[in-house]
Amino acid sequence: MNRLVIHIIYIAFLFFLSVIETGALCQSPAERISKVLNKQHSNLDSLIINGESDLKVMRAHKRLAWTYLNQLGNITEAEKYNTKADSMAYAMGDTSAMAETKTIQGRINFRKGYFSSALADHQRALDLKVALKDTGRMAYSMRLIGMVFEAQKKYDKALEFYNEGMELREAKGDAEGATLFFMNMAQCHLELDNVEKARIYANKAVTNTRDSTRQAAKCITMLGRIDMKTGNYDRALNKLKRAESYMLLKGPEIELAEIKGYVAKALMLTSDFNKAEIKAKESYELAKRNNHPEFIIRALTSLKEIAFKKKDLERAYEIAEEIKIRQDSFYKREEMLKSLDFESLYKAKEKENTIVQLESERRALESQIQVRNREKRMMFLIIILLIISLAGIVGFYLFKRSKEKQLEQRDDIIQNQKAQQIIHERKSIRMQSLIEGQEQERTRISRDIHDGLGGLLSATKAQLLNPDNNTNKVHELIDQACEEVREITQNLMPVSLKTVGLKGAIEDLIRKTECLPIKIKSEISIEEKYDEHIALNVYRVIQELINNVVKHAKAKNLLVQVLHADEEVKILIEDDGVGYNALIQNGGMGIKNVNARVELLNGDINIDTAENIGTTVNIDIPVIGKNNTAL
């Protein structure tokens, strides 16, 4: 029993779906177009309310213009939306969009009978497409220009543009696009009574067209008209009826009105006047509903001929009067359009701009009301989402803060390690410099003892061993040896530091240098006595810097300035020698020893030098009061 119930429910569900699907498939073209338009209008309203980009809003206006023009033939609505799209495309400088809006406007002007304006619009669109190098759309514009010339019965001129556009389509391998050109060329040749050429192009169009489509209906209509032209009325009628069935499903009403008019004409030629009258009336009603004066006059002409054939002369004369009225109105309208073409277009654009603005405001207001209603329904959901979001943000913040603290602690540890490493490296460099200085000093002392004192003592010994020694000569050698010992001890620890202090020792050092070919200017203004450690290192620093100038600088002038100020010993050594490039050379061992001694005394040193401009050395060494204890 349960299974039976389930099967019944399942079958009912399938039946319900089939009913829905059948209903959707059975929709008329008008219903389908209405749904498309409603969807496009809703999309435009949504874009405006949500503040979407001008590009998206412009494209929505353009889609509506195409739909009104192609599907409904409503040129008033089409022009309203296209005018807005065109102004937006111009403001954005969008060349591609401007080419499309000019194309639409050209088709609108063509439908309105503004042929010169239509040609101007299509030519402008073609120029833009040439600039874009878009051969596909170039071909389309050439076809539209050809259609304008064809409407003016300038068939040879139209064929020139059709041929050029068809060549662009075929070069791109666009068989479906070439079909439209075949159709237009068949129409021109038919009007020029070139029936065989018309048939060739019509058959080419049919070959490249899918069955049961709007384009297929147009192609078959053309073949039917050719058959009528050649007297094959039955074959023409069969083709035209098939075209009518295709257009009922796929095409706009105005094109259906045209085909029904041809069917009525074919029925007349086969003497089926009753059916011909029905089709002519249907064509008349469709043309009248779409306000197409040419098709209205065609349908009335067929109805008049049918009335004559049926010997209903009164009805025939009534229709003839209506035809005359409509023809007068139509031809007067044609003359007016020729004289007022551009002026009318300008005024219409101004009017439509105002309509577009008012319509947009109205739709914007309605959409705002809908948005407010939706906002009220969604408020509760938004509050819940906000609470969840805030909780997530707080949790993320706490997690992020914890990670940041861990990173900060790790960075502090790394920085401390780097600082300790730098201190250790600086100490190592300082100790290495001191060790190298000591080794250099030991080497110098060893050389002085060996070369100077050792040589004197060897000479003294040789003189003493000589039986004929000269006592005066021995005394002289001994005196020289004693002098050499004093020099060596002076270099190890200057005696003058203990006897006359730092100031006297520096002055004595400068006096010894004055015998050299260099002009020395000095200024010594320091305290009477300093700590022995500070005094010795200050003396050695000055001694090393002076020796560097004498040995390497090739200077002519030397300034030595030693001052005591702000509990610091300030040293300035300046020469006008050759200098050196500090970016390439770091100085020799002497400069390294100076840097090591200054750093040992917690002092600061600044060396300013460059090639061929001399060298200036500024040193500041801190001391404290009379006791001169190093900081």
The answer to whether the CB of 44 falls within 8 A of the CB of 57 is yes
Residue 223 domain flag: no
CA distances from 114 to 67, 77, 252 (A): 21, 17, 22
Residue 377: the pLDDT is 78
Q: What is the pTM of this model?
A: 0.46
What three-state secondary structure class fits 177? helix
Q: Which of 166-180, 413-427, 429-443, 513-527 has the lowest mean pLDDT?
A: 429-443
Of 115, 133, 151, the one marking the end of a domain is 133
Residue 286 domain flag: no
Residue 92 domain flag: yes
Query: Using one digit for the tens of pLDDT, what is the confidence trace for 446-481?
Result: 655 655 565 556 556 655 666 666 666 666 667 666
> Does pLDDT of 342 surpass 80?
no
What three-state secondary structure class fits 194? coil
Residue 122 domain flag: yes
For residue 87 the two structure tokens come to: 């102004």
Residue 27 domain flag: no
> Does pLDDT of 404 surpass 90?
no
Of 82, 102, 133, the one marking the end of a domain is 133
> Does pLDDT of 154 surpass 70?
yes
Residue 605: the pLDDT is 92
Residue 30 domain flag: no
Residue 128: the pLDDT is 92
Nearest-angstrom CA–CA distance, 523 and 571: 10
Of 133, 152, 169, the one marking the end of a domain is 133
Which residues does 535 contact at the CB level (< 8 Å), separation at least 6? 497, 501, 502, 505, 529, 628
> Does pLDDT of 571 surpass 90?
yes
Query: Using one digit for the tens of pLDDT, what is the confidence trace for 185-200?
Result: 998 999 899 999 999 9
Residue 336 domain flag: no
Residue 218: the pLDDT is 86
Q: Give the count of domains, the chain.
A: 2
| 138 CB neighbour count, 10 Å cutoff | 22
Which residue matches tokens 């139509």? 330
Beta pairing partners, 574 = 559, 616
Report the CATH number that the domain containing residue 60 is assigned in CATH. Answer: 1.25.40
Report the CATH number that the domain containing residue 578 is assigned in CATH. Answer: 3.30.565.10
Q: Quick one: average pLDDT of 384-394?
A: 87
What three-state secondary structure class fits 39? helix
Q: Percent of the chain scored above 90 by pLDDT?
A: 20
Residue 48 domain flag: yes
Question: Domain residues for 565?
Answer: 499-622
Nearest-angstrom CA–CA distance, 245 and 263: 11
The answer to whether the CB of 161 falls within 8 A of the CB of 180 is no
Which residues does 493 contact at the CB level (< 8 Å), separation at least 6? 536
Query: Using one digit for the tens of pLDDT, what is the confidence trace for 39-98?
Result: 989 998 888 888 888 889 999 999 999 888 887 778 889 999 999 999 999 888 899 999
The answer to whether the CB of 249 falls within 8 A of the CB of 286 is no
Residue 330: the pLDDT is 60
